[in-house]
Amino acid sequence: MCPCCFQKERSILFSNRAAARMKQDKKEMAINDCSKAIQLNPSYIRAILRRAELYEKTDKLDEALEDYKSILEKDPSVHQAREACMRLPKQFEERNERLKEEMLGKLKDLGNLVLRPFGLSTENFQIKQDSSTGSYSINFVQNPNNNR
């Protein structure tokens, strides 16, 4: 209902609605409202900060870090953004490690599914990396449980 000519006021309204939706746990809708607020007023730090928090809660860490960095460019005194810029890279590493472990587990399950008809499993194969060249060698082990 607010006329389009009042961009700053509309930005505040969108940001306030995002806060209400955040409380209602409607994170995606809140992110959209924050984005609209930022579109209307790109220097509105509260909307950017709110969107960064929402991105972080929805595990969109790349977008969150981008917003936090944007805040620091506009106002380096925002403690929350500075703290997040130091905290998020560690969360990236943890997330990537978790995804890597999950992917390797699924690949191992797939390998076992293919090898099972032959009486084999992924445990029958040892993979070693040569530290000098970075290449891998794969060795077949008849009884993998005896080698541990």
| 112-135: pLDDT as tens digits | 898 888 888 888 888 888 888 888
Q: pTM for this structure?
A: 0.68
**What structural domains and CATH numbers belong to the chain?**
7-118 (1.25.40.10)
pLDDT in tens, 129-138: 888 888 888 8
Q: Please compute, for residue 74, the number of CA atoms within 13 A of its CA located in the half-sphere on the CB side.
A: 17
Identify the pLDDT of residue 2: 58
**What is the band of 141 on the pLDDT scale with cuts at 50, 70, 90?**
confident
Closest CA to 52 of 60, 43, 44, 42: 60
